[in-house]
């Protein structure tokens, strides 16, 4: 599914994750694949503790890292698409 600004994402039930200082470790349970995130990626993952829209995540990154919203939105979309392709997040219709 193509992600849009209004798409609401949540963490997949097929993963477990934990915070390690400023990094995040994620294990995809069905694929037995490990992922490590730091910096912006870790920030986005931690923000996904609750379902969030792509727009909300972009705004959070822009505020936290003091970058322009337009500059980071495309990068956030691409990162979220890679998480989706890896099976770590999914689009939901749940509340934001």
pLDDT number for residue 2 = 86
Structural tokens at position 30:
């069905």
* pLDDT per position as a tens digit, 49-91: 999 999 999 999 999 999 999 989 999 999 999 999 999 999 9
For position 71, what pLDDT does the model report? 85
Q: Give the tens place of pLDDT for each residue, 11-27.
A: 999 999 999 988 999 99
pLDDT at position 1 is 75
Alpha-helix residue ranges (DSSP H) falling in the chain: 39-47, 54-65, 69-85
- Burial (CB < 10 A; 0-12, 13-18, 19+), residue 80, is buried
Rounded distance between C-alpha atoms, residue 54 and residue 33, angstroms: 25
Distance CA 8, CA 17 (A): 20
**What pLDDT was estimated at residue 95?**
57
3-state secondary structure of 1: coil
Residue 93: the pLDDT is: 78
> Domain residue spans in the chain?
8-92
Q: Which band of pLDDT confidence, cut at 50, 70 and 90, is reported for residue 94? A: low
> For 8-92, which CATH class?
alpha beta
């Amino acid at each position: 599914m193509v992600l849009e600004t209004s798409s609401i994402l949540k963490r997949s039930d097929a993963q477990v994750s934990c915070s390690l200082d400023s990094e995040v470790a994620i294990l995809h349970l069905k694929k037995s694949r490990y992922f490590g995130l730091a910096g912006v990626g870790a920030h986005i993952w931690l923000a996904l503790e609750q379902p969030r829209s792509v727009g909300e995540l972009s705004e959070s990154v822009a505020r936290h890292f003091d970058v322009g919203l337009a500059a980071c939105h495309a990068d956030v979309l691409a990162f979220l698409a890679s998480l989706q392709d890896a099976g770590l997040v999914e689009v939901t219709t749940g509340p934001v």
